[in-house]
Chain A
């Protein structure tokens, strides 16, 4: 069989795309081979991180003059293939397919969230579809199907299957599946339940993957504007620098032209009196957690830190009872919300799950819970705020973060630290801070496919003891790592789970263009994490560390 041969010798394959000879690695798709010759075959259901589904049929090509067309996204190259991608006949067939997709798509582009940022709209424009074809009246679903953080509009759905695939293949959650048949086919949840009632971790990967406006997060930007007009309340914001590139991309500014400084100014002009940086709160969160980790009563069980309550219920529920210790340390948003509980407190992070963290129905559950926070907004919502307010962001003078209040500099829960453990405590806090900051900065997109993250970094502690620190990206990998660690750990181990596969910077609440621009290839040193087991790991000092330790332990020690 031809395929057997190609599987055995994975050498390069030479083929002809529209008469142009091209040599690509075996296992490439025709789509990739065409791209290598400078030909872009239109696609809709294809997604670079997902297995091909070949469902939209827009990428059909002719192979060796065969009558039945092949989907370029799902067809492997083979030696000597003669592929036609651009005959008039093919263009006509693709046009008909695109018209069929458009035939029952709502004509509400100007009021759609994805207007000017929609893959279907772009295709229609590229194909030059002059008017909506094969039009028919179809029953409208009255409203979005969910009342949670992720809203579905089945009318707009083009049934590409990306949301279902990303949930299954990338995140391993399987909150959604393909249901129904014929025209009733489409993504859904078992028994039509709301997303929030299933295993959904609200990571927002499906929202990122959706090519059209069928999936979006609940938009709180309007509510924020309203709240900012409320008299008599202090308005404060917690800003994660990761939203700045998203803001730049969403508003069409060059990268780096706005930065955190410009974003701070924008937030202040929007009505926030104080804008704080995330790092100070992250450091405090690390100190809180370091104390708990150090005084853990079950060092043979992994100490797990999760970024959202939904991730906790999804990941921990599947493990044997009491096989892990879930960190109850508040995250930066939780600390911020705790301090500013009386104020209008809004946190800006490229995150969708924080929204439900804010409204946890299970107070005291711990992980990622953020009581006291008034609003948890993501990059897309911030961009909407900025657009509504009409900011010329690039022209805004930069501002500095405000100095966090006193309360944001002293850990409340870092008690129970044994006598003389100051150095261990400091080292652990540093390690936690460094890992969490790395998680928020994200990592190369290829790591998501390679699935070889989750490396162990070992920290030397006093008395020849060590502790392991693991950073895990994405819930699929987290399931695997936690399943393994739940069997027991040889030394104290802290596992930090970032629910989003690209960390916070490429999180489910990031602006789509920014996520798309994430590097696909490993950045240099991206995988050579410092402090592989065996090498001592020396994380950098955390902001204000000396001062904090002095407060905790009363003056310099040793």
Chain B
């Protein structure tokens, strides 16, 4: 049995991604054509039935998001594709935009039809300059072919798409920061509520979905939500693009059905990751991007689907699977993750701005064998505070890898702690919990 499917990536191997006829030869625009004969409510019903979970990382049900926006009577509405693919180890939106840009644009056009939107935006990460160029060419091609722009396919529906870019900031992948950046403001997240469905781009009701989410829409409309659901897991339908990287033999993007394969198969199956590279021994895998959890050997038997991974305290996230071998120490790895967040925090809220830097500092201390039990407790405290009190998803998710790694590799942490007999007399950095300080206050 073939392990991969080509639902989203149909046509990805065509020599010319900008050939409308090639795209149509693999079923392209069937979804849009059908959508133009359907009512918005009917289309939203299909997306709901598909149980399409958002592909950007948060896995919010796309159908629910569409349903909420559809209920809002005000207009104009905007359709925005989040193409700020900033999660390290994630390069699947890039594949879509590079090889099947029409898939994204078709999905957006369907959404445009559903919400009566006249304009759509693709926010391409600043580093994807060539991709942005390609997308612009794809838009022009479709406009010339009557599949975008004025009076699409003679239906009277008009929908235009613009490509915008920031200067390159991880936080702009957060939807509200992305909209701020699109508006020309600094890419910092907004206070929610109001949700973006109510007050989004230019303060108008807005749909923001990930590139891959939009790319799923044409087949959901063309083949029906039920069929999409049946391809995947009963609690989250369809296929998922996974990005294998690190010490595997066959790194790359694979479109796999959700709920059919274990992590082990993904990494070790010859048709997929192909196992570890010559001489390497699996140590851990980082799932879903830098903000995702770490999977150890024990996690490998988890089935790759949102709800199944959740049971194993893991997550699909963006679809990244970064595989590390024994030559990579977990503390070294976590420090690099921490460096990433300490650099990418927007700085607006205290837990994220100060927390990431402090975690980084303590991880370095731990690596150097200079940390005591107090530092270890501080790491837990900081992780919990950031996860619960940060302003946006960046700060909330930043300590995920650290927290999961501590459960998998407790000895790496405890073993590095300076034993009391080594310690010179030194001050504890702080008491840990409220109440403990009563004696010292």
Contact = CB atoms under 8 A, between A and B. Distances in A.
B376 interface: no
Contact of B344 (A1, A60, A101, A182): A182
Contact of A55 (B195, B198, B350, B381): B350
B378 interface: yes
A185 B361 contact: no
Interface stretch (B88-96, B269-277, B316-324, B386-394): B386-394
Given A100-B351, A185-B346, A93 B388 contact: yes
B342 A97 contact: no
B384 A93 contact: yes
A100 B191 contact: no
B433 A92 contact: yes
Contact of A134 (B193, B378, B384): B378
B431 A55 contact: no
Contacts of A58: 350
B398 to A, nearest CB: 11
A4 B198 CA distance: 9
B420 interface: no
Interface string B293-308: 0000000000000000
A351 B390 CA distance: 38
A182 B353 contact: yes
A68 interface: yes
Nearest to A56: B350
B349 A100 contact: no
A129 B438 CA distance: 10
Given A1-B198, A4-B198, A182-B356, A68 B388 contact: yes
A91 interface: yes
A68 B71 contact: no
Interface string A164-185: 0000000000000010111111
B194 interface: yes
A291 B430 CA distance: 69
A185 B343 CA distance: 11
A128 interface: yes
Interface string A85-125: 00010011111110111011000000000000000000000
Interface residues on B, range: 35 or more
B389 A135 contact: no
Contacts of B430: 99, 131, 133-134
Which of A91, A101, A185 lies at the interface centre, i.e. has the most chain B CB atoms within 10 A of its CB? A185
A363 B350 CA distance: 45
A57 B391 contact: yes
B389 A97 contact: yes
A74 B72 contact: no
A182 B357 contact: yes
B354 interface: yes
A54 interface: yes
A300 B193 CA distance: 48
Contacts of B198: 1, 3-4
Interface in B375-409: 378, 381-382, 384-385, 388-391, 396
Contact of B434 (A75, A92, A181): A92
Contact of A88 (B391, B429, B435): B435
B48 to A, nearest CB: 17
Nearest to A130: B440
Nearest to B378: A134
Contact of B349 (A3, A54, A134): A54
A76 interface: yes
B437 A130 contact: yes
Which of B194, B381, B388 lies at the interface centre, i.e. has the most chain A CB atoms within 10 A of its CB? B388
B345 interface: yes
22 contacts: A55-B349, A56-B350, A60-B388, A68-B396, A69-B388, A75-B193, A93-B388, A93-B389, A95-B434, A96-B381, A97-B389, A100-B382, A129-B437, A129-B441, A130-B441, A133-B429, A133-B430, A136-B361, A178-B186, A180-B347, A182-B356, A183-B357
Interface of B: 68, 71-72, 169, 171, 186, 188, 191, 193-195, 197-198, 342-351, 353-358, 361, 378, 381-382, 384-385, 388-391, 396, 427, 429-431, 433-435, 437-438, 440-441
The 4 closest A-B pairs by CB, nearest first: A185-B347, A100-B354, A133-B430, A128-B441
Given A91-B434, A100-B355, 6 more contacts: A53-B191, A69-B388, A92-B434, A103-B354, A130-B437, A181-B171
Interface of A: 1, 3-4, 52-58, 60, 67-69, 71, 74-76, 88, 91-97, 99-101, 103-104, 128-131, 133-136, 159, 161, 178, 180-186
